Amino acid sequence: MRDATGAVQRVLVLGGNSDIAAAVVDRLGPRLVAVDLAVRAPEAAAARVAALTAAGIEARAIPYDADDPAAHERVLGQVDDVDLILLAFGTLGDPYDLEADTEQVARLASTNFVSGVAAAHASARHLARQGHGTLVVFSSVAGVRVRSEIAAYGAGKAGLDGFAQGLSDAVDGSGARVMIVRPGFVHTKMTDGLESAPMATTPERVAADVIDGLRKHKRVVWSPPLLRGVFSGLRVLPAPVWRRLNR
């Protein structure tokens, strides 16, 4: 439950090793009481748990396989009254081409879309039942106009983004809400080694935009904000022009 000033006190991170989610938690600051990190390998989050604990926050890592449909409800059943859920897992995969292994493409799309949808559904239902709280869904501008090189990833994010939009309407009036975050290229572990993109940003900058969005009760957050205007144009570019830009 938020404190008397409305500050977030309890956070659940689905994808607890996410650099962006970690930056959001750090921005929330000293008023935090508890942070639960749902991760595939809890031992990989040990240092993060120790750092949060040293800061006076109740922290733990909960085993979580996002690709297991039953895992979402299982994790939610282990957390107390939660103010904020960050849906932050996902996988970029290798650059897509027509020679890619079909099973690998299917697994990539399933994690980013099917597992994301299941996690979002379970989380929103949990928040609606408790009558308060915000679900932050990390989408991507990659889903606004899908590039061929990351087609499976972009399509998965496009689907998750669309589901989150509908979910936002579904929880309206319940006391819960859904906020969609659409970052551009972010320098994280997932993008390490990749060529940067125009208007590339950092986890800390995205976190600042997320906190601003929470404070202003935004439905959609673009990070950086200029990407909203850029993609308003890019999404309607004729296909031949779009292809030339992405060669």
From the list 64, 89, 138, 153, the catalytic residue is: 153
* Tens digits of residue pLDDT in 27-86: 998 889 999 999 999 999 999 999 999 999 999 999 999 999 999 999 999 998 999 999
How many angstroms separate the CA atoms of 106 and 103, rounded?
5
> Is position 153 annotated as part of the catalytic site?
yes
Flag whether pLDDT at 188 surpasses 60. yes
Flag whether pLDDT at 4 surpasses 50. no
* Tens digits of residue pLDDT in 114-138: 999 999 999 999 999 999 999 999 9
* Tens digits of residue pLDDT in 22-43: 999 999 988 899 999 999 999 9
Domains of the chain, with CATH numbers?
10-245 (3.40.50.720)
Segments of the chain assigned E as strands: 10-14, 34-39, 58-63, 84-87, 133-138, 176-183, 220-223
Which pTM does this prediction carry?
0.93
Q: Identify the band that residue 6 occupies on the pLDDT scale cut at 50, 70 and 90.
A: low
What is the DSSP secondary-structure string of 142-197?
Answer: GGTS--GGGHHHHHHHHHHHHHHHHHHHHTTTSSEEEEEEEE-SB-STTTTTSPP-
